[in-house]
């Protein structure tokens, strides 16, 4: 079942269209007020819009509102009694279909279903292309704040050199992404970027992992193996969570950084370490040096070109760009079409403090998109702890309505699951007519929830 919106000032024609569409399993929401159309587009997800306006400015206004609020939604323009736009103008506005004013309701249905099918195929094609091209995309650092502009400028400067880089910042501030950005822009971009998860290497295997070993050099060394520094060649090597290295391993790493040479375990020949080192940590290395938990000489070897990544709470002006950028990738990886974030949901996201930074934001957006079943993320799709951050920062009545809608959705889903998705029985148990129940199912996009067994909290 598709959830459609119809704007028209002709009540009789609208009622006829609604009957035809409902007979074929579609839910058609009819609104005669253009202001109400613009408002509902910000609150609810629609699969397509049908616009029957007489005035040219009115038609353009509503079509542009559709494009801005839900960019992936196809728009069907039906010529009004007083022709508002012609076919060429409709195409310029981005309309999927343009129909003459005397068109039969069955024809409107046929062309709307054609537009719906084309939109579905476009979404599937975009998803497949994203999957194929995932490894070939350039790294994109979202945000236009002064803090992110500084980070980008530092990346540009250091990428032209072979200097050692130290990335610092709280957990989840995209240090690995910045390392990839440095690598892509660096002189060694044609060579590998090799990542080393420092705390994940057992102490007894540290030298072997980083510098390689010769066959028979220790029990289990059945063949010679190159280490991470050799594999990186003239590229870059990322030492992630370098602060977690034990002191004895810090000394071994320091020797290589000082001499730029190493020897495989069990080997005799020295090998040149050509890779540029990028170290990353979410700890305060200066404080660790004072506490005797990190070598001072290693700290200075790593801290040649420091780049500090700001937490999300200090650059809230970047949150919208970051969230929409992440949402595009999340939609592709989940196989869901993401059309955006409702303005009230965005306001709530900006009110939250994000202790887990970008990583937490990504997790919240993925959960919310799955709950929404694709399309537009609404406030009720957000976790309660994030919604609570918006309390008191939005209009009280508006926030109350958000909570009420979330509770309605919860009741509807519980009833549907209890009655094995037999809508007639679910409606009866809630004391609703089938027509009212169908309206709510369409409004909250609940049919998509049938595919997921996740409970709503």
pLDDT exceeds 70 at position 280: yes
- The residues with which 195 forms a beta bridge, in sequence order, are 238
In this predicted structure, what is the pLDDT of residue 122? 67
Better-predicted residue by pLDDT, 434 or 148 = 148
Report yes or no: 62 and 51 within 8 Å, Cβ to Cβ. Answer: yes
In this predicted structure, what is the pLDDT of residue 136? 41
pLDDT exceeds 70 at position 398: no
Domain 3-134 = CATH 3.60.20.10: no
Task: Say which residues have a Cβ less than 8 Å from residue 117's Cβ, sequence separation at least 6.
Answer: none
pLDDT exceeds 80 at position 260: yes
pTM for this one?
0.58
pLDDT exceeds 80 at position 49: yes
Better-predicted residue by pLDDT, 146 or 333 = 146
pLDDT exceeds 60 at position 395: no
CATH code given to domain 146-309: 3.40.50.300
Mean pLDDT, the chain, whole residue set: 82
CATH class, 314-451 region: mainly alpha
pLDDT exceeds 70 at position 121: no
pLDDT exceeds 50 at position 127: no
In this predicted structure, what is the pLDDT of residue 116? 85
pLDDT grade for 199, boundaries at 50, 70 and 90: confident
Query: Any idea where the domains of the chain sit in the sequence?
Result: 3-134, 146-309, 314-451
pLDDT grade for 181, boundaries at 50, 70 and 90: very high
pLDDT exceeds 80 at position 33: yes
pLDDT grade for 285, boundaries at 50, 70 and 90: very high
Same topology for domains 3-134 and 146-309, yes or no?
Answer: yes
In this predicted structure, what is the pLDDT of residue 1? 58
């Amino acid at each position: 079942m598709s959830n459609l919106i119809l704007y028209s000032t002709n009540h009789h024609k609208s009622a006829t269209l609604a009957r035809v569409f409902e007979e074929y399993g579609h839910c058609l929401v009819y609104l005669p007020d253009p202001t109400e159309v613009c408002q509902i587009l910000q609150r609810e997800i629609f699969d397509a819009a049908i616009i029957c306006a007489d005035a040219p400015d009115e038609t353009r206004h509503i079509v542009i509102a559709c494009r801005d609020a839900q960019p992936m939604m196809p728009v069907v323009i039906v010529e009004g009694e007083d022709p508002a736009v012609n076919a060429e103008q409709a195409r310029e506005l981005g309309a999927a279909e343009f129909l003459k004013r005397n068109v039969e309701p069955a024809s409107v249905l046929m062309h709307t279903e054609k537009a719906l099918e084309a939109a579905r195929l476009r979404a599937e094609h975009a998803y497949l292309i994203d999957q194929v091209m995932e490894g070939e995309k350039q790294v994109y650092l979202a945000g236009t704040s002064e803090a992110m502009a500084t980070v980008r400028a530092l990346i540009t400067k250091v990428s032209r050199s072979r200097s050692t880089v130290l990335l610092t910042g709280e957990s989840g501030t995209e240090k690995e992404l910045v390392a990839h950005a440095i690598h892509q822009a660096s002189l060694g971009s044609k060579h590998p970027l090799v990542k080393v998860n420092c705390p994940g290497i057992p102490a007894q295997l540290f030298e072997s992992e980083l510098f390689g070993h010769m066959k028979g050099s220790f029990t289990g060394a059945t063949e010679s193996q190159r280490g991470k520094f050799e594999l990186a060649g003239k590229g870059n090597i990322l030492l992630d969570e370098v602060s977690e290295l034990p002191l004895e391993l810090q000394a071994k790493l320091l020797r290589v950084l000082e001499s730029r040479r190493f020897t495989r375990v069990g080997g005799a020949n020295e090998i040149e370490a050509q890779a540029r080192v990028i170290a990353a940590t979410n700890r305060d290395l200066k404080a660790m040096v004072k506490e005797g938990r990190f070598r001072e000489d290693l700290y200075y070897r790593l801290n040649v070109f420091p780049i500090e990544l700001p937490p999300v709470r200090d650059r809230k002006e970047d949150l919208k760009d970051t969230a929409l950028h992440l949402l595009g990738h999340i939609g592709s990886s989940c196989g869901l079409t993401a059309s955006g974030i409702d303005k009230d949901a965005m306001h709530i996201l900006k009110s939250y403090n994000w202790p887990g930074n970008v990583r937490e934001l990504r997790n919240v957006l993925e959960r919310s998109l799955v709950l929404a079943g694709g399309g537009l993320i609404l406030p009720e799709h957000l976790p309660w702890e994030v919604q609570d951050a918006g309390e008191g920062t939005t209009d009280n009545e508006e926030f109350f309505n958000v909570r009420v809608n979330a509770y309605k959705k919860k009741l509807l889903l519980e009833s549907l699951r209890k009655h094995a998705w037999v809508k007639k029985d679910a409606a009866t148990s809630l004391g609703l007519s089938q027509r009212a129940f169908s309206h709510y199912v369409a409004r909250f996009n609940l049919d998509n929830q049938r595919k997921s067994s996740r409970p709503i909290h």
